[in-house]
Amino acid sequence: MEETTASTGTLTLTGDDSFQTQRSIPFDLAAEILSKLSVKFLLKFSTTCKSWNSLIHDPKFIKKHLRVSTKRHRLITTTCIPSKKFTVMSYPLHSLPFNSIFNVNATQYEYSPVNLDYHDRLVVSCDGIICFAINQNLAVLWNPSIGKFKTLPTLYTPKDGDDDGHTVYGFGYDPFIDNYKVVSLFYYNVYACKTEVSVYSLGNDCWRRIEDFPPLIPYSQQGVFVCGTVNWLAYYDLDNNDYYRSYAIVSLDLENETYHEISQPDYGGVIDKLTLTLMRDCLCVFSHSDSFDDVWIMKEFGNVESWVKLVRIPRFSNRCLYFDNTKILYVFEDDNHVLLLMEEKFKLKWVVYDSKNDTVKCTKLQDFCWVESKVYVESLLSP
């Protein structure tokens, strides 16, 4: 490659060489700079002038800001001792040494829980908005960075004898309508496979019922939004044969509102349990066996050949198969380090596992209480 030659020659300064220190910045350039600020400082600088204040409410700018913000993953954690304390904190997951995740740039948010004697369960966070499941008839949406809160309309759920049933919520983006949706999967009377699935779109004031779930038993903590679909785990086996469940991934197409099955990867062994989630904007499955957990992502949604195993986490320390509540929270960009949340003797530990060196490092410890820890990004979106 040729070297660039910089011929410095003689510096001849022209008339207006006065190094003006206060040149003004054109508005479009200002918007580019602002889009790179975190929400707190953006809100502060929205008091600078009227055009900047309008900017942060402009949908195009909100999207632009979100595109930048999506690359800066954070971890949002709720800790709850019912009727005593509910704390919401977020921590940065990007560009840091792993041990300082919980010590540097932690942000606390004010939140008044709805449940007094139970916890508001953090289901998922999408594009800066958090979905809490209050109970099987009520969910709320909240953007902690801008402090906007939205209570969804009450979801009607039928009663069938003594069985109260159970609601699984999912929240995410629907590209077909360029809007966000909450999908509720209510199931009751598992022997008769009775379900009701409803959809709520942001800005609406009611739920809309859609086609029932196919005749399988739902087995998910949340509906996972990916590429215009919502996905859940479900199983066929009704004979109480807990050891050999046949799992399926059921996918709801948000445009046609129809269901189909997504093929799973070849797990390569006996699997006891599966967890379905979202990672790197891809459908992700954790396959749990008695000696390890594998993290699989479907790089190209719908294409069974595109399943890739990201990392394997062996069972370590006192983890036990049946009571193990270890949660895999995040796989770092190096595809090597994994953030886990473990329970151990009345304590909660956030640990970072290094799969190359097979080492574990505890980065945060606290007393046991209700905790949820999910990946989060900041945004200006109003729920």
Partner 1 sequence: MASSSSNLISLKTSDGTVFKVERALAKTMKTVQAIIEEADANIYMIPIHNVFSHHMDMIIDYYKLSVAGKSKEFSVEKLDNDELKDFLLAVHYLNMEDLFEVLTQAVADRLEKKSVGYVRKYFGIENDFTPEEYAAIRKKNDWAFKGDDIEPEEDEEKQEE
Distance CA 126, CA 149 (A): 14
Under the binding rule (CB under 8 A), the answer on residue 5 touching partner 1 is yes
Which two structure tokens, joined as six digits, stand for 270? 């006996």
> Which region, judged by CB under 8 A, interacts with partner 1, from 4-12, 171-179, 241-249, 290-298?
4-12
- DSSP 8-state class, residue 244: G
Question: Does the footprint of partner 1 cover residue 116 (CB under 8 A)?
Answer: no
Give the footprint of partner 1 on residues 10-29 (CB under 8 A).
Answer: 10-14, 17, 19, 21-25, 29
**Is 91 in contact with 79 (CB distance < 8 Å)?**
no
Q: Is 104 in the site for partner 1 (CB under 8 A)?
A: no
- The piece of 7-15, 191-199, 267-275, 369-377 that touches partner 1 (CB under 8 A) is 7-15
Contact 197, 252 (CB under 8 A): yes
β-pair partners for 130? 125, 142
Measured torsion, CA atoms of residues 187, 162, 82, 322, in degrees rounded to the nearest 10: -60
CB of 43 or CB of 89, closer to partner 1: 43
Q: How far does Cα 73 stand from its chain's mean position?
A: 10
161 contacts partner 1 (rule: CB under 8 A): no
Site for partner 1 contains 176 (CB under 8 A): no
For the CB of residue 70, give the shortest distance to partner 1 in the complex, in Å.
15
Q: Does residue 58 bind partner 1 (CB under 8 A)?
A: no
Site for partner 1 in 273-302 (CB under 8 A): none
Kindly state whether residue 235 participates in binding partner 1, applying the rule CB under 8 A. no
For residue 30, the minimal CB distance to partner 1 (Å) is 6
Characterize 222-244 residue by residue with b for buried, 16 or more Cβ atoms within 10 angstroms of its Cβ, and e for exposed. Answer: bbbbbbbbbbbbbeeeeeeeeee
CB of 129 to partner 1, least distance (A): 19
Least CB distance to partner 1 at residue 119 (A): 25
In 10 A of CB 294, how many CB atoms?
20
CB of 40 to partner 1, least distance (A): 5
Task: Report residue 112: phi and psi, to 5°.
Answer: -100, 110
Question: Among the candidate windows 9-17, 217-225, 248-256, 294-302, which touches partner 1 by CB under 8 A?
Answer: 9-17
Q: 21 or 241, CB closer to partner 1?
A: 21
Q: Is 60 in the site for partner 1 (CB under 8 A)?
A: no
Q: What is the DSSP code (8-state) at residue 62? A: H
Can you say whether the dihedral through the CA atoms of 320, 297, 309, 261 is positive or negative? Answer: positive
Paired with 74 in beta bridges are 92, 376
Task: Give yes or no for residue 9 binding partner 1 (CB under 8 A).
Answer: yes
The smaller minimum CB distance to partner 1, of residues 7 and 112, is found at 7
- When asked if residue 89 is in the footprint of partner 1 (CB under 8 A), the reply is no
Are the C-beta atoms of residues 287 and 271 closer than 8 Å to each other? yes
Q: Rounded to the nearest 5°, which phi and psi values hold at 40?
A: -60, -45
In 136-244, beta strands by DSSP E: 138-143, 148-151, 166-174, 179-188, 194-201, 208-210, 217-218, 224-226, 229-235
Reading the block at residue 329, the tokens are: 């929270």
Shortest Cβ 113–partner 1 spacing (Å): 20
Q: Answer yes or no whether residue 34 interacts with partner 1 by CB under 8 A.
A: yes
Question: Does 53 participate in binding partner 1 (rule CB under 8 A)?
Answer: yes
Between 12 and 241, whose beta carbon lies closer to partner 1?
A: 12
Indicate the helix (H) or strand (E) that contains 32. helix 27-34
Residue 40 touches partner 1, criterion: CB under 8 A: yes
Q: One symbol per residue from 342 to 361: x for binding partner 1 (CB under 8 A), - otherwise; what is it?
A: --------------------
The residue ranges that bind partner 1 (CB under 8 A) are 1-2, 4-14, 17, 19, 21-25, 29-30, 32-38, 40-41, 43-50, 52-53
